């Protein structure tokens, strides 16, 4: 299968256990850093944003490189042209999940179920693709608790599939191609991209909103599926592509969530109550706003007076997190929205902008605090109406620097990416520390000033339009391994 892994970069800064600034003095929570390492290669990666990396049961899944050269080099799926596998962490143990049978085939994870029992993703299968011309076909797969991999196959006539999400019942959703040519193929396969549900050993095309293609985001514990679909096959003058509306699918029926006057709507998040959040373009397809939809009510969340904003996650308790512009469209802040009330998360003192990445059901939100130009200065934690410097809450003892956090579960555990002194990236976990761990870390002394800024440039970190599969969909669909 043809693709290249596009990943969010992340890093960790040491925390000051002594001489805390006033902003942190009242805080009791600290985080210990767990470096998940690799499988012999230089890098490991966290999926995100908009992806469940950390189950509420405390199991994490991401991806890591081996030291095995990719047999399809230079058309590689990792920046280092190395074979990679999903990386699972549970109860302190890191393990590798397998790829489909074959020699040196790469696989990647995309989602872990809320209970941590199932993991979805994709794997090369080693067979050349006769439809797309890819060097090897990609298959949607899922792994069960025992680590066994299952090939989810494709629709009739198809050669490619991708599993996007899985719930605790083992229902897996994703996309598959078929053999029907499609100039507007959502996946870039050149044929129709169809949203599919795998359950009980069968694959089901769940249909569209009237157009040729549909893509999916997630499936919740009730079996409700969210995504987006073309509503027709007629390209719009503003975009050159057919209208795309978000949908909620349940009980065999695909519900059109609608739009805010534009021709593009993208689902970035959903929860177990059937609430959907994402972005919708306004009339003219220039500006876009965050939206929330639940029980047939579509709400324009709005902005802080600027032109654009986006919603990235929604918790089961109904908290929506994202970012929105102020007037002038240079300054933007993260927001937390619920029941019609929009809270400005603010910034870590000294910074200009923030970007909300994830939020849990306790209302704990995480994200980045930046200079508005793509330089990450700090990570933040927002809770109980206050923003805190998450970077300064990490216990000392590691030379890894964290500058992006992608997911937080309901236990308050955070999945992030750290940068080593040599520039390599490792997936890291930030786990709430116990009182004894905080005391022990304090005895080690200060590792770095709490005000230490990351000053790490992340391309398009502040101004890009987030997709619903920022890394996962890119993993196996968007950048093709062409011969």
Q: Sorting pLDDT into bands at 50, 70 and 90, what band is 447?
A: very low
pLDDT of residue 445: 54
Helix (H) or strand (E) holding 186: none
- Order of all β-strands in the sheet with 414-419: 31-35, 425-432, 414-419, 401-408
Name 349's Cβ contacts closer than 8 Å, sequence gap at least 6: 23
pLDDT of residue 74: 79
Helix (H) or strand (E) holding 445: none
Tens of pLDDT, residues 179-190: 999 999 999 999
pLDDT mean over 213-218? 96
Q: Sorting pLDDT into bands at 50, 70 and 90, what band is 443?
A: low
pLDDT of residue 48: 80
pLDDT of residue 479 exceeding 60, the answer is: no
pLDDT of residue 33: 96
pLDDT of residue 449: 36
pLDDT of residue 481 exceeding 50, the answer is: no
pLDDT of residue 463 exceeding 70, the answer is: no
CB 210 within 8 A of CB 196: no
Domain ranges (residues) in the chain = 22-478
Nearest to 365 by CA among 308, 412, 415, 425: 412
Q: Sorting pLDDT into bands at 50, 70 and 90, what band is 78?
A: confident
pLDDT of residue 478 exceeding 60, the answer is: no
Other CB atoms within 10 Å distance of the CB of residue 412: 18
Structure tokens at 44: 């490991």
pLDDT of residue 440: 85
What mean pLDDT value characterizes the chain? 86
pLDDT of residue 444: 59
Structure tokens at 366: 């995480």
Q: Sorting pLDDT into bands at 50, 70 and 90, what band is 471?
A: very low
Tens of pLDDT, residues 88-110: 999 999 999 999 999 999 999 99
Name 56's Cβ contacts closer than 8 Å, sequence gap at least 6: 114, 115, 116, 409, 410, 411
Tens of pLDDT, residues 268-302: 999 999 999 999 999 999 999 999 999 999 999 99
Find residue 204's DSSP bridge partners. 197
pLDDT of residue 339: 95
**Phi/psi-derived region of residue 329, left when phi > 0, alpha when psi is between -120 and 50, beta in every other case:** left
CB 135 within 8 A of CB 2: yes
pLDDT of residue 134: 84
CATH of domain 22-478: 2.130.10.120
pLDDT of residue 441: 80
Structure tokens at 97: 């999940």
pLDDT of residue 23: 38
pLDDT of residue 8 exceeding 70, the answer is: no
Q: Comparing 18-27, 189-198, 254-263, 381-390, which segment has the lowest mean pLDDT?
A: 18-27
pLDDT mean over 229-248? 97
* Distances, alpha carbon 404 to alpha carbons 164, 355, 358, 409, 429, in Å: 22, 10, 11, 16, 11
**Biggest alpha carbon distance in the chain?**
66
Name 464's Cβ contacts closer than 8 Å, sequence gap at least 6: none
pLDDT mean over 443-472? 42
Which residue has tokens 């994830």?
358
* Distances, alpha carbon 95 to alpha carbons 36, 87, 107, 429, in Å: 10, 6, 14, 15
Tens of pLDDT, residues 374-406: 899 999 999 999 999 999 999 998 899 998 999
pLDDT of residue 68: 96
pLDDT mean over 158-176? 97
Tens of pLDDT, residues 318-328: 999 999 999 99
Q: Sorting pLDDT into bands at 50, 70 and 90, what band is 439?
A: confident
Structure tokens at 70: 């990719």
pLDDT of residue 370: 94
Find residue 355's DSSP bridge partners. 368
């Amino acid at each position: 299968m043809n693709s290249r892994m596009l990943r969010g970069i992340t890093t960790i800064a040491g925390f000051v256990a002594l001489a805390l600034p006033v902003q942190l003095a009242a805080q009791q929570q600290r985080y210990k850093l767990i470096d998940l390492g690799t499988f012999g290669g230089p890098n490991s990666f966290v999926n995100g944003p908009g992806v469940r990396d950390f189950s509420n049961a405390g199991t994490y899944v991401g991806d890591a490189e081996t030291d095995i050269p990719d047999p399809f080099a230079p058309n590689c799926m990792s920046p280092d042209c190395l074979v990679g596998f999903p990386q699972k962490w549970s109860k302190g143990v890191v393990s590798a999940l397998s790829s489909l049978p074959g020699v040196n085939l790469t696989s990647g994870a995309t989602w872990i179920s809320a209970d941590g029992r199932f993991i979805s993703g994709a794997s090369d299968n080693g067979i050349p693709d006769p439809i797309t011309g890819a060097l090897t076909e990609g298959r949607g797969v899922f792994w069960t608790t025992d680590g066994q991999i299952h090939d989810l196959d494709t629709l009739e006539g198809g050669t490619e599939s991708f599993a996007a999400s899985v719930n605790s019942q083992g229902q897996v959703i994703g996309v598959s191609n078929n053999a029907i040519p499609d100039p507007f193929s959502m996946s870039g396969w050149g044929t129709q991209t169809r949203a599919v549900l795998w359950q009980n050993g069968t694959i089901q095309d769940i249909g569209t909103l009237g157009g040729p293609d549909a893509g999916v985001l997630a499936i919740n514990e009730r079996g409700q599926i969210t995504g987006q679909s073309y509503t027709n096959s007629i390209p719009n003058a503003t975009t050159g592509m057919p209208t795309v509306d978000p949908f909620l699918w349940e009980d065999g029926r695909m519900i059109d969530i609608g739009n805010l006057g534009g021709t593009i709507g993208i689902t970035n998040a959903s929860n177990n109550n059937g609430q959907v959040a994402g972005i919708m373009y306004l009339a003219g397809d220039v500006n876009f706003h965050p939206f929330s939809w639940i029980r047939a009510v579509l709400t324009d969340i709005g902005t802080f007076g600027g032109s654009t904003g986006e919603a990235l996650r929604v918790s089961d308790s109904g908290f929506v997190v994202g970012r929105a512009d102020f007037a002038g469209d240079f300054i933007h802040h993260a927001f937390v929205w619920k029941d019609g009330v929009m809270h400005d998360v603010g910034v870590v003192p000294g910074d200009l902008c923030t970007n909300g990445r994830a939020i849990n059901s306790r209302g704990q939100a995480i994200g980045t605090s930046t200079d508005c130009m793509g330089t990450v200065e700090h990570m933040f934690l927002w809770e109980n109406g206050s923003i805190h410097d998450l970077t300064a809450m990490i216990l000392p003892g590691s030379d890894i620097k964290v500058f992006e956090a992608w997911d937080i579960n309901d236990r308050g555990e955070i999945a992030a990416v750290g940068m080593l002194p040599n520039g390599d990236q490792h997936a890291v976990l930030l786990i709430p520390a116990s009182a004894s761990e905080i005391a022990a870390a304090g005895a080690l002394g200060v590792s770095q000033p709490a005000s230490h800024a990351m000053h790490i440039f992340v391309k398009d970190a502040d101004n890009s339009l987030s997709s619903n599969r920022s890394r996962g969909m890119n993993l196996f669909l968007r950048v093709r391994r062409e011969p």
